[in-house]
Amino acid sequence: MTQTPTLAVEELQTWFFTKLGIAKAVDGVSFAVERGRVLALVGESGCGKTVTGFSILGLVDPPGRIVGGRILFQGVDLVPLPAERMRALRGARMAMIFQDPMMTLNPVLSIETQMVEAVRAHARVSREAARRRACETLAMVGIPRPQERLRAYPHQFSGGMRQRVAIAIALLHRPDLIIADEPTTALDVTIQSQILSEAQRLCRELGTALIWITHDLSVVAGLADEVSVMYAGRIVEQGQVDEVLDRPRHPYTRGLLGSVPSRNVRGQPLAQIQGMAPSLLALPEGCPFRLRCTRADDRCLGMPDLVRDAGGRAVRCFHPHEGEAAP
């Protein structure tokens, strides 16, 4: 790596101090994304992938708090940054796209009002110039007749179009980093394919670094350059997309890949991971995947470290698979 990555997260810890105890939603997560690259953050609900995204943007609310680690955005640590400096970055240099576009959009304001406001929050431009920029950005994400659609309200758009508007708002300032949290999960496959194609174009043409949070490994395969698989607040496996998907080393990654229907014989029972993800408030001792794992033994009562090889491939397991092809 010769250039500074757009984002480097180092040993991030975001904990939630609840009445029932401390939930370590993110516990020692590290990864980096370079310009124009796509990193997929994969995991099931409650594994900490969304909280990781929120932590990067400084959006974690009490009882949650970043208790350790660094978030280097273009070399600057965001964790100690005062709120005003964060606000200046958020929406301008980095942006987030949520699963539900209504997290971004205000239902009672027209798209124009919202977009013009978003432009002028970070740039000293006239209302007219802001409107022009909004219009161009809507056209860029493939919204037909943007001039006309600017005057519409969120409820007048379909789900797919609404997500495009949310993406357009994220793009207004051509940010260097976009965090997309399951933005296509609620959409139909043809619309998903349109949005994925836009995302790829952005990375290619504008050099945006993209963090794509998802649980869908097929989307990861089609979109990402690198993958980090999370389980119970920690990264369990990390590497280039081909490496991880073709030669998964962690039993959890292998289990997820093995349960995809296309990797099974039609009509036969799917290979499945036993049990369900543990509650963050009652994690088992040692490796949190231990109770669902077929390879677990007494050694797994201790916590395995994330071991990284020379090629940047990392796995957190005492009994990783060695070079075997994916199930």
Partner 1 sequence: MSGPNGGPLLEVRQVSKRFVKPLDLAARLANLLGAGLREEVIHAVDGISLAVAAGEVLGLVGESGCGKSTLGRIVAHILPPTSGMVLYRGREITALSGAEARAAALAVQMIFQDPFASLNPRMRVRDIVGEAPLAHGLVPRHAIDGYVDDILRRVGMDPSYRRRYPHQFSGGQRQRLGIARALAVRPEFIVCDEPISALDVSIQAQVLNLFMELRRELNLTYLFISHDLGVVRHIADRVVVMYLGRVVEESPTEALFACPSHPYTQALLAAVPTLNQRRRRFQPVQGEIPSPLDPPSGCAFHPRCPHAMARCRAETPPLRVIAPGRHSACHLNDG
Residue 50 binds partner 1, judged by CB under 8 A: no
Minimal distance, residue 272 CB to partner 1, in Å: 4
Residue 65 binds partner 1, judged by CB under 8 A: no
- Binds partner 1 (CB under 8 A): choice among 2, 3, 126, 262: 262
Angle at 315 between CA 310 and CA 317, to 5 degrees: 135
d(CA 43, CA 151): 38
Minimal distance, residue 241 CB to partner 1, in Å: 6
How many other CB atoms sit within 10 Å of the CB of residue 160?
18
Indicate the residue among 263 and 299 with the shorter CB distance to partner 1.
263
- Binds partner 1 (CB under 8 A): choice among 62, 75, 107, 269: 269
CA gyration radius, the chain: 21
Indicate the residue among 36 and 68 with the shorter CB distance to partner 1.
36
108-117: Cβ within 8 A, 24+ apart: 108/153, 109/153, 110/150, 110/151, 110/152, 110/153, 111/138, 111/149, 111/150, 111/151, 111/152, 111/153, 111/154, 111/165, 112/150, 112/151, 114/169, 115/150, 115/168, 115/169, 115/172
Residue 215 binds partner 1, judged by CB under 8 A: yes
Residue 129 binds partner 1, judged by CB under 8 A: no
The pair of three-digit structure tokens given for residue 249, joined into one six-digit string: 């080393």
Stretch that binds partner 1, among 82-90, 128-136, 147-155, 251-259 (CB under 8 A): 251-259
How many other CB atoms sit within 10 Å of the CB of residue 189?
8
Residue 325 binds partner 1, judged by CB under 8 A: no
Count of helices and strands (H, E) across the chain: 10, 12
Kindly identify the residues of this chain, within the stretch 151-170, that bind partner 1 according to CB under 8 A: 158-161
Residue with tokens 């200046």: 88
Residue 25 binds partner 1, judged by CB under 8 A: no
Minimal distance, residue 248 CB to partner 1, in Å: 11
Residue 106 binds partner 1, judged by CB under 8 A: no
The pair of three-digit structure tokens given for residue 227, joined into one six-digit string: 């993958």
Residues that bind partner 1 (CB under 8 A): 44-45, 158-161, 188-194, 196-197, 200, 215-219, 221-225, 241-242, 245, 255-257, 259-264, 266-267, 269-273, 276-277
